[in-house]
């Protein structure tokens, strides 16, 4: 762009800003500029709105499915997921005794202080 220099680059920038309808560095100006660029560029060069966010969410969902025991807050796209098993409980906290066969159902109380169990041997317990 050849322009008379009265401030050099500043004059070039302001002319380009006027040509593109630049409304300043705020969010409205950036969105207007992006919309204008979308009009000028061929469709195959422009990502649809929210596409990057959709791709990132999809990748996070894929990683969550591959490592269901890792909390979503600890998943990252910056590093590969590690299958360390550090999120899987591996210490016995308490042993349930009293049933003579498989425990088929258990339910915690609303307050989380009691546990009801039902077993294949037709016995029930509240612990």
Written as tens digits, the pLDDT of the chain (127 aa) is 444 455 556 667 777 777 766 677 788 888 888 888 888 889 888 888 888 899 999 998 888 888 777 777 777 888 776 666 666 777 888 888 888 899 999 999 999 899 999 999 889 999 8
* pLDDT given at position 65: 86
* pLDDT given at position 50: 87
* pLDDT given at position 18: 73
Q: Which DSSP symbol is given to 17? A: H
Whole-number Å distance between alpha carbons of 114 and 60: 36
Contacts of 96 (CB under 8 A, 6+ apart): 103, 115, 117, 125, 127
Whole-number Å distance between alpha carbons of 86 and 91: 11
* pLDDT given at position 92: 86
* pLDDT given at position 12: 72
């Amino acid at each position: 762009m050849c322009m008379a220099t009265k401030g050099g680059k500043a004059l070039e920038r302001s002319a380009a800003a006027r040509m593109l309808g630049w409304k300043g560095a705020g969010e409205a100006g950036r969105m207007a500029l992006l919309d204008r660029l979308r009009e000028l560029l061929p469709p195959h060069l422009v990502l649809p709105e929210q596409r990057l966010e959709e791709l990132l969410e999809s990748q996070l969902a894929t990683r969550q499915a591959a490592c269901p025991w890792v909390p979503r807050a600890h998943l990252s796209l910056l590093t590969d997921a590690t299958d360390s098993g550090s999120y899987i409980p591996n210490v016995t906290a308490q042993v349930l005794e009293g049933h003579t066969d498989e425990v088929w159902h258990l339910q915690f109380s609303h307050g989380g202080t009691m546990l009801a169990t039902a077993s294949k041997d037709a016995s029930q317990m509240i612990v």
